[in-house]
Amino acid sequence: MPKRLREYLLNNKEEKEMKKKLAVLLCASMLGTALTACGSNSSSDQTASSSTEESKWASTEETFDPLTVEDAVTFEELRESNGAITKSSDEYSFAGNVKAFENVVWQEIANGYEGFAEDATAAGCKLSVDTTSPMGESDEEGQLSILKDQVRKGVNAVLLSPISDANCLPGIEAAHEADIPVYAVNNEFNGADMFVGPNSLEQGQLAAEWVNEKLGGSGDVAIVMGMAKTAVTRNRTQGFEEWFADNDSDIQVVAKQNADWDRSQAKDVAATFLKTYPDLKAIFCNNDVMALGVIEAVKEADLTLNKDIYVIGCDGQSEAYDSIRANEMAATIDTFPYYEGYMAAEVCYRSLIGQTVPRVVFTPSKMLDSTNVDNTPEENIGWTDPVFE
């Protein structure tokens, strides 16, 4: 586990520590049995008592923070410990539910789900994945309606990336009542039985470390944040801010404001920042979409990108790659969304066929700038295809 993550855990132990540990231990001891059972479709699975049913799944009332789960592993560590994927004769179906296809990150995560299903099918497994999204990243009710419909249709697992921390809670509870496990992909939420995605606190730290090096350890910077009610926003922002204090940097975060993942809002926020803080040297954005809006504001302010000011994004969208190549966006923290989706589907499948899988599996993130933006994703994360036997 990275030193910075260990320090974070130590600093936050006092907050409901015993309560969280008990919840994690209970989930860990019972989740494997529950997941295997949900894949069998046996009628005997439905005869459990109400008290057993309540303890089988994660609670939507208990705070779930992947950063506090002590047995969390990286995806690479999971593969090393579990080895090949056994070819099960059982048929499985996954429902994918992402924030919005209009954002290429979520489309790529969905493509990753399908990519694993295709590879598993080609290897002799029986797996199908159907992924849907609401109309936009603000359509919270629409996403909940989709989730409830997916549960009614019946699947073996749901791979869910909710718009906010709470908008899908009734659908998660409905899934658990139907003996369907719910996997958090990319962003955590209460009621998630497992989490697969990047360490969002560490992503903010990566961005801060990069900015510190570029600015020589001093200067004013700002943050354009995503939606306030998502853990990813909070963690990326916190990781960025705390890195400077923890590393004795003279860089000061002089402003931060939410732009709700929206490009035009981010442009307006940045325009205000640039007028209010004329000495601003860098702006960190919680995602690439907002970073692209910030770049527009910088241009309109007649500032030179990557000289007067640096703009850093997060997610690794293809448009961010193009912007880096054009010497506009300075850098992005790539989460490799296609492979993130692929890894999530693989983790889900491994757990359903009975392999031991911890509750939290972290997928890789990497800082991309002009020095490595032309590497393939496979090169940047050292990707290898799974082995089926």
24 in a domain, yes or no?
Answer: no
Pick the closest to residue 113 from 97, 129, 100 (CA basis). 129
The predicted pLDDT at position 292 comes to 98
How far apart are alpha carbons 368 and 136 in whole angstroms?
27
Q: Are residues 288 and 211 in the same domain?
A: yes
Which tens digits make up the pLDDT trace of 245-293? 999 999 999 999 999 999 999 999 999 999 999 999 999 999 999 999 9
Is the residue at 381 inside a domain? Answer: no
213 with 327, same domain: the answer is yes
Task: Name the more confident of 13 and 165.
Answer: 165
Tell me the residue range of the domain where 78 lies.
Answer: 62-198+337-364
On whether residue 382 sits in a domain, the answer given is no
Domain count, the chain: 2
The structure tokens 């789960």 sit at 69
pLDDT tens digits along 203-254: 999 999 999 999 999 999 999 999 998 889 999 999 999 999 999 999 999 9
Examine the domain organization and report whether 207 and 327 are in the same domain: yes
**Which pLDDT does position 163 carry in this prediction?**
94
Residue 185 and residue 220 in one domain: no
Q: What is the mean pLDDT of residues 161-189?
A: 95
- What is the DSSP code (8-state) at residue 236? H
CB 330 within 8 A of CB 305: yes
Residue 389 lies inside a defined structural domain of this protein:
no
Provide the CB-side half-sphere exposure for 386 (13 A, CA): 30
For residues 191 and 220, membership in a common domain is answered with no
Residue 376 falls within a domain, yes or no? no
Task: Locate all alpha helices (DSSP H) within the chain, ordered by sequence.
Answer: 3-11, 17-40, 50-56, 75-82, 104-122, 140-153, 169-177, 200-215, 231-246, 263-276, 288-300, 318-325, 337-352, 377-381
The two tokens of residue 92 are 């499985």
Establish if 279 belongs to a structural domain: yes
The yes-or-no verdict on residue 136 having pLDDT over 80 is: yes
Of 109, 136, 125, 143, the C-alpha closest to 344 is 109
User: For position 5, what pLDDT does the model report?
Assistant: 42
Res. 8: pLDDT tops 70: no
Same domain, 255 and 185: no
Percent of the chain with pLDDT over 70: 86
pLDDT of residue 165: 87
pLDDT at 12: 42
Would 259 be classed as within a structural domain? Answer: yes
Please indicate whether residue 190 or residue 55 has the higher confidence score (pLDDT).
190
**Residues 341 and 320 reside in one and the same domain:** no
Q: Does 212 share its domain with 247?
A: yes
Residue 29 in domain: no
Place 7 in a pLDDT band, splitting at 50, 70 and 90. Answer: very low
Where residue 269 sits, what CATH number does that domain have?
3.40.50.2300
Give the mean model confidence (pLDDT) for residues 315-333.
96
> Domain check: are 186 and 230 in the same one?
no
Residues 129 and 240 occupy one common structural domain: no
- Do residues 263 and 181 both lie within one domain? no
Q: Are residues 189 and 204 part of one domain?
A: no
